[in-house]
Structure 1
Amino acid sequence: MSRNAKINTLLLLVVAALAVLPLALGLGDGKEEPFAGADAQAEAAITELKPDYEPWFSPLYEPPSGEVESALFALQAALGAGVLAYYFGLRKGRRQGAATATGTATAEPADGPATAGAAPAKS
């Protein structure tokens, strides 16, 4: 096994352990939702500190369940990742295209490719 393959295998095992261990050990705060988001934790802290607090705004859309909310969040993250990947891929492609164009421009004369030994074109 090559050195790169060993490193990749080790990294894959670390990522798998980071994903599986919290679920297997049941980490969380012990409440009904062990992995509550920051919004739920902030709401609980505000309610504890100031029970009569009235929010300024209400959500425009309230998902029917936590699963739908999680799915919408995952969709939002996937769309954002897709936009970023497209942008960086486009930049890399343009940079490679510019490098190729620069490389061919310096390798050929300004009037076009060399035609040594070719017969002149008939009109």
Structure 2
Amino acid sequence: MATTEQLTVDNGKVAQAWEEQLPRMLNESDTCKVIADEGDPNALRVNIQTGGHSDYNFDFKVSYVDPREIKVELVDVEQAGLHVDENTDIIQGLAEDYVRHLHECAQGVKNITNP
């Protein structure tokens, strides 16, 4: 069984770094919010709001497996404030893109998580 290595940096500081870095990874019309997960010192909560008319709102949990590697979980998707089926091709495609951007962001802040 794999063990999770604790981050040596406060997840509030990591969340702040993500908040600065992640918008650079997303489409210009997308917005995001990153907060430290209060229940898990190795995790962040990421909300991404798509730009344009689709009005999708994605919630992810990003957990640090170790100071270099993350695991991303799609927690919820809403459209115009209503829960939607996460298994449609459109949602899955968008989610895959966002997961890729989240991994890119983790690489962009590795100087903070893995000094």
TM-score (norm 2): 0.25
Which has the greater radius of gyration?
1
Counting helix residues as a fraction of each chain, which structure ranks higher?
A: 1
Greater RCO (CA < 8 Å, at least 6 residues apart): 2
TM-score (norm 1): 0.24
